[in-house]
Amino acid sequence: MSERLVVIGSQWGDEGKGKITDYFACRADMVVRYQGGNNAGHTVVFDGNKYSLQSIPSGIFNPATINVMGNGMVVNPVSVVAELQKLHDRGITDYQLFISDRAAMVMPWHADLDGAYEAKKGDSLIGTTKKGIGPTYSDKYARTGLRMGDLLEPEYFAERLRGALDVKNLELRMLGLKEYDFQEVYDQYMELAKQIGHMITDTSDLINGYLRRDDKRVLFEGAQGMMLCCDHGTYPFVTSSSPSAAGVPVGAGVAPKWIDNVLGVAKAYCTRVGEGPFPTELFDQRAHDIRERGHEYGTVTGRPRRVGWFDAVVARYTGRLAGIDNWALMLFDVLSGLDKVMICTGYELDGEVITSPPSTISRLARCKPVLIEMEGWKEDISGVKNFDELPEAAKAYVRKIEELTEIPVGIISVGPDRTQTITVAETLRKW
Ligand code: IMP
């Protein structure tokens, strides 16, 4: 039987999944994205070069690795072609990429509608990436959407496109937006099909073929983070998919039994882009310092990220929901230099202390973090190679997270480069 690893974000996205996935992708035979689309912004740094990926899996830099965009994704063919072009321009030309024929396809009007819906929400806007992710998933579940496989059958594609435009143009007109001409969209997408059509296939078959083989390693790459999960996150300030390990079976077309080694990627502190409650958020100089040291600006939108303390309430919650086996604790070096560091252990809500997030954002917005204060450390730890070499205060911080979440820290990242990674867990060292 193959070896598997699921890498998921356990906070509000941007935890550093790109680096971790890339770290394991070097040894993976296959890397699979199973949800989300080009709303993700995965940064991968190696050999001193920085690459930013949106919808393409992080295994793309290794010519021997098969990269799969699974059926649970929303795929924007315009963006895929543009991303590939950018990679080509930087000399990344040797790769293997496959796209599920069942993946929902992002159409040009989806981004327009995303922007228009946001504009109508006024102060209660979600702060989406405006890539059309929500509207594409809405159409998928309304069963009116188009799928990537449709591109391979021009007549069927034309029929689906006509049906979609009949309804969409009405909606676009009502909202005062530009309507789309059938022929223009048809020609544009047929042109895109010429460029990426050969990559579109039944990826579930491909993945299952690898899962059954003893000599294969399959990595499932989550995007966003568990607190942005449409079911379990801070609804409605969430994305429209399930970034959990539980999203893998449906989104990749594999049986749940294959999901057994889940790595929860968590920053050593917390960040959030977009709107929505964030109980441990900091508003003072410390937020500014962490933001600058951690380069906390959105990869996709460039927006400054909101910054807060590590939230063990969130970590316990996502650990339970996704069955996280180990943490990958990211950007640990960013905390160096603070006199004191804090961890949130519970929320005070209307005079009571709770240890799991409430279901509504109205209650979450009233939650005050219950914080414990720990000694900080001054040393630069970006060159540390082993856990034992870390300053005592830093070790105590890691141990406290393990104690509060009852999940071991398997990896500690002390810098953006692949080499700045301390692998503590034996199982992960072997992977
Ligand atoms: P959408 O996914 O574009 O619909 O945006 C919904 C929410 O998810 C917004 O708060 C976005 O900022 C957030 N979001 C979407 N993708 C990412 C990501 O990759 N990292 C962090 N936040 C994200």
Please give the domain boundaries of the chain with CATH numbers for all domains: 3-103+199-258 (3.40.440.10), 104-196 (1.10.300.10), 267-430 (3.90.170.10)
- Contact present, 345 and 371 (Cβ < 8 Å): yes
Can you give the pTM of this predicted structure? Answer: 0.95
Say if ligand 1 is within 6 A of residue 129 CB: yes
Give the C-alpha separation, 170 to 311, whole Å: 45
Say if ligand 1 is within 6 A of residue 233 CB: no
- So what's the pLDDT on residue 276? 87
Residue 339 CA to ligand 1 center (angstroms) comes to 32
Just list the catalytic residues. 14, 42
CA angle 241–242–244, rounded 5-degree value: 155
> Which among 60, 89, 73 has a CA at the least distance from the CA of 145?
73
- In sign, the C-alpha dihedral spanning 374, 375, 381, 384 is negative
Say if ligand 1 is within 6 A of residue 134 CB: yes
Give the C-alpha separation, 77 to 369, whole Å: 43
- So what's the pLDDT on residue 7? 97
- So what's the pLDDT on residue 173? 98
- So what's the pLDDT on residue 418? 85
Say if ligand 1 is within 6 A of residue 54 CB: no
CA angle 343–346–347, rounded 5-degree value: 115
> Which among 78, 48, 36, 47 has a CA at the least distance from the CA of 57?
36
pLDDT < 70: residue spans in the chain: none
What the block records as the tokens of 359 is: 């279901």
Coil, strand, or helix at residue 270?
Answer: strand
- Contact present, 368 and 385 (Cβ < 8 Å): no
Contacts of 356 by beta carbon, 8 Å cutoff, 6+ apart: 313, 316, 317
Give the C-alpha separation, 20 to 7, whole Å: 8
Residue 252 CA to ligand 1 center (angstroms) comes to 21
Chain mean position to CA 82:
20
